[in-house]
């Protein structure tokens, strides 16, 4: 009897514990569901309301501002590909050594021209190119020069310069004389003449007259000899923005070269008159140091020196600048000199024969 009572108690306890376990499990499930519903309700209804509050909006604006800042600072800084020009020097044009005029690119920052000038320049360019194709080189030369001076597009300017160089080779820099060309004529050597005397009369150099007439020794001419003379003088115009030198015969463009200029803007702008001209010059370092003699391979002037005498603009009173060759050909098209105008040695040798002492003018434009 006692045993059955104890067994009944155990069964009753088991049933009670089982019932309490099932009840606790149910409570946990209900709690989980309530929590889930609460999170969903917040996400759907309460969160948007809270985000529209001033405090939430301020936090959001801060994050957006930070994101915008990060975006800006992640953009790489644009720098010049030209090692001699600082980041602010973009627009400036650099070509490879030995590049021909027709292959040279031009910078984007060309001078602003009026629509009228640009329209007139395009018409003159077309007329000039047509005249050249028809063989009227004198007319073509004038039209194309006017077009260049008024302002052409990049491609047209390259083409015009190339065509003017070609025309110059036929009309000015060779022995031929084109009928009706006002820049050239025949001259008969008189008794007592020298090539230097004739050259002075026509404001050119004796080296130039010897070259175009095929005279091997300029000190040996004969009376009665007929030669071609060019009515000078030649002038040069240097544009620092393109590192270019245009050679003009009076007011007509006939040649184009690349130059190097002074670092940190040390080449003064203004008008210069050609002074002393030297072949194989001795180099006197302007900042001190030993002399470097002529023909020394370390002579930075190369084999030609053309002194420039300042007569207008920032150049006034300056006499220590010049145009010369270089032993650093990679410096052409760069601001690398102490202020002088550098050229490839073969180019300055040509310009040396064009520019006449005390007659030719070199105009260095403002940067």
Closest of 257, 261, 263 to residue 244, by C-alpha: 257
The residue with tokens 């070259």 is: 211
- How far is Cα 251 from Cα 141, in angstroms, rounded to an integer? 11
- CB burial class (10 A; 0-12, 13-18, 19+) of residue 182? exposed
**Residue spans of alpha helices (H) in the chain:** 2-41, 47-51, 54-73, 115-133, 137-150, 154-171, 195-201, 206-213, 345-354
The residue with tokens 């050909």 is: 329
Structure tokens given for 359: 């007659």
- How far is Cα 51 from Cα 215, in angstroms, rounded to an integer? 93
- How far is Cα 288 from Cα 117, in angstroms, rounded to an integer? 49
- How far is Cα 25 from Cα 79, in angstroms, rounded to an integer? 70
- CB burial class (10 A; 0-12, 13-18, 19+) of residue 178? middle
Around 328, how many Cα atoms within 13 Å sit in the side-chain half-sphere? 15
Q: Please pick, among 93, 143, 235, 340, the residue that the annotation labels catalytic.
A: 340
Q: How many helices (H) and strands (E) does the chain have?
A: 9, 12
Tell me the three state secondary structure of residue 356.
coil
Q: For 23-39, b where at least 16 C-beta lie within 10 A, e where not — what string?
A: eeeeeeeeeeeeeeeee
Does residue 340 carry a catalytic annotation?
A: yes
First to last CA, the chain: 124
Question: What Rg value do the Cα atoms of the chain yield, rounded?
Answer: 41
Kindly list the catalytic residues.
Answer: 324, 340
């Amino acid at each position: 009897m006692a045993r059955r009572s104890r067994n009944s108690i155990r069964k009753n306890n088991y049933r009670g514990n089982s019932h309490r376990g099932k009840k606790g499990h149910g409570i946990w499930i209900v709690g989980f569901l309530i929590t889930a519903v609460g999170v969903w309700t917040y996400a759907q209804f309460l969160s948007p309301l809270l985000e529209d509050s001033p405090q939430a909006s301020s936090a959001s604006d801060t994050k957006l501002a930070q994101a915008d800042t990060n975006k800006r600072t992640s953009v790489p800084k644009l720098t010049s590909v030209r090692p001699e020009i600082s980041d602010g020097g973009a627009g400036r044009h650099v070509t490879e050594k030995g590049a021909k005029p027709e292959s040279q690119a031009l910078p984007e920052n060309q001078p602003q021209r009026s629509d009228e000038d640009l329209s007139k320049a395009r018409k003159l360019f077309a007329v000039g190119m047509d005249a050249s194709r028809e063989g009227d080189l004198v007319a073509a030369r004038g039209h194309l020069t006017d077009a260049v001076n008024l302002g052409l597009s990049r491609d047209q300017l390259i083409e015009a310069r190339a065509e003017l160089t070609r025309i110059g080779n036929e009309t000015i820099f060779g022995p031929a004389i084109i009928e009706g060309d006002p820049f050239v004529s025949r001259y008969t050597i008189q008794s007592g003449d020298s090539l230097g005397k004739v050259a002075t009369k026509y404001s050119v150099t004796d080296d130039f007259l010897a070259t175009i007439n095929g005279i091997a020794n300029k000190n040996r001419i004969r009376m009665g000899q007929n030669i071609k003379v060019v009515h000078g003088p030649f002038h040069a115009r240097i544009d620092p923005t393109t590192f270019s030198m245009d050679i003009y015969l009076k007011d007509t463009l006939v040649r184009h070269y690349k130059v190097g200029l002074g670092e940190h803007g040390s080449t003064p702008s203004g008008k210069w008159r050609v002074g002393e001209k030297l072949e194989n010059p001795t180099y006197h370092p302007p900042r001190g140091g030993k002399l470097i003699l002529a023909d020394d391979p370390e002579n930075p002037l190369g084999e030609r020196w053309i002194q420039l005498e300042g007569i207008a603009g920032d150049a006034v009173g300056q006499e220590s600048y010049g145009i010369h060759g270089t032993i650093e050909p990679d410096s052409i098209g760069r601001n690398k000199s102490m202020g002088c105008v550098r050229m490839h040695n073969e180019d300055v040798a040509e310009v040396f024969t064009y520019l006449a002492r005390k007659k030719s003018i070199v105009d260095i434009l403002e940067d």
